[in-house]
Amino acid sequence: MTLNLQLPNANGELARYTLRNSAPAKLPARNVPFNRIVYSAAHVVANPYAAIDPWLQCAVDWDQTIAYRQHLWSLGMGVAEAMDTAQRGMGLDWPTSLELIRRSLDAAKDVPGALLASGCGTDHLVLEDVRSIDQVIAGYEEQMEAIEKLGGTLIVMASRALARVAKSPADYEHVYSRILRQARQPVILHWLGDMFDPALKGYWGSENTEAAMSTAIGIINANPNKVDGIKISLLSKDKEIAMRRQLPSTGGTDGKGVRMYTGDDFNFPELIAGDGFGNASVHGHSDALLGIFDAIAPCASAALAELALGHVENFRAILEPTVPLSRHIFSAPTRYYKTGVVFMAWLNGHQRHFTMVGGQQSTRSLLHLSELFRLADAAGVLQQPEQAAHRMKVLCEMHGVGN
């Protein structure tokens, strides 16, 4: 079947586009244990029928939100819950985040081997009222206690409040040492670059990446048995590899070293495949905690199965065509990448509508979404091309484009 539609191009002109891949994308191989630990940071599905003011209040469609997590688990993915992909700090407040974590933990009990870790931060604090490091510590402790009481594993998220009040690297060392000492089990640390959140500029006490990295490594070296790994999202493979090679070779969850979880949505295939440094060491590759895996989950699962079988070229052949799509979704302003992730979920039939918590569906233009559609087609990640084409036509018509 030939599927075509009119889409705006880079010149702002309408042009007829014919889908390259009009057959459903192939599903991944099943029952192949991955040789990488993989988390997909998962999005939330908004409830468009709630009687709220979308920019001011938060309403979640819990059934479809949890169904998407079950979809990710069925593909062998872990779920990184209530992170920035779930619009944490951009529409998803702390009370709703905690309810999301509770529901996901409950759902995980019904899925053998389900991997789930949850974001713990300080986003319930009113930034303008935060004056001291002790307030930041208390903020982290409040969320830690709530998540651990539910039985959750922690991802200690970067804190806007800490970035606001910290005066030196020593302040970061003080906060993180306090938090890590109290953690019941090893946590994943979280370094989100300011391209994702401008309020995090200068995190770890310096705008110089090497200096910031040194502070973070020092904190991990002082607490290796309390840190499972660190996720960094700096969109620089060289910086990630440099930090990966400095992580302790002991400690972590299994005693075999602190892991690097790539958050690099620009260079993830080569970082996950690895460079062989340290032979079989965990420091020869990155594990993954990625927002893009929400959008390309079946494709990522198929690639990871190939990697586990030792078929590195097949792994690359599946994943590398998705890199242009990922770079587009995460293009500047990067913090609006969530719109592309949810758009992909809508195209692929995982939700009935293209609306988002906080009205964030408006953060990307029709031109951006049209190019996203073309790149998704080229990457072979449209699971139901006929439905996706129909939905893209509906979106175009809403913007005055006839099809």
Answer for the pair 335, 360: CB distance below 8 angstroms, yes or no: no
Give the pLDDT confidence score for residue 31 in this predicted structure: 77
Global confidence as pTM: 0.96
DSSP 316-364: HHHHGGGHHHHHHHT-SSGGGHHHHHHHHHHHTTSSS----GGGGGGGS
In whole angstroms, what is the distance from residue 47 CA to residue 49 CA? 6
**Tokens found for residue 396:** 């175009």
H or E, element range at 90: none
Q: Mind listing the pLDDT tens digit for each residue in 258-267?
A: 999 999 999 9
Give the pLDDT confidence score for residue 1 in this predicted structure: 60
Q: Mind listing the pLDDT tens digit for each residue in 3-25?
A: 899 999 888 889 999 999 877 66
Which residues, other chains included, contact 90 with Cβ-Cβ below 8 Å and sequence gap of 6+? 84, 335, 338, 358, 360
Which residues, other chains included, contact 98 with Cβ-Cβ below 8 Å and sequence gap of 6+? 82, 143, 146, 147
Answer for the pair 61, 42: CB distance below 8 angstroms, yes or no: no
Instruction: Provide the β-strand partners of residue 116.
Output: 79
In whole angstroms, what is the distance from residue 266 CA to residue 331 CA? 9
Kindly state which CATH superfamily the domain 30-315 is placed in: Aldolase class I (3.20.20.70)
Which residues does the chain have with pLDDT short of 70?
Answer: 1-2, 24-30, 278-280
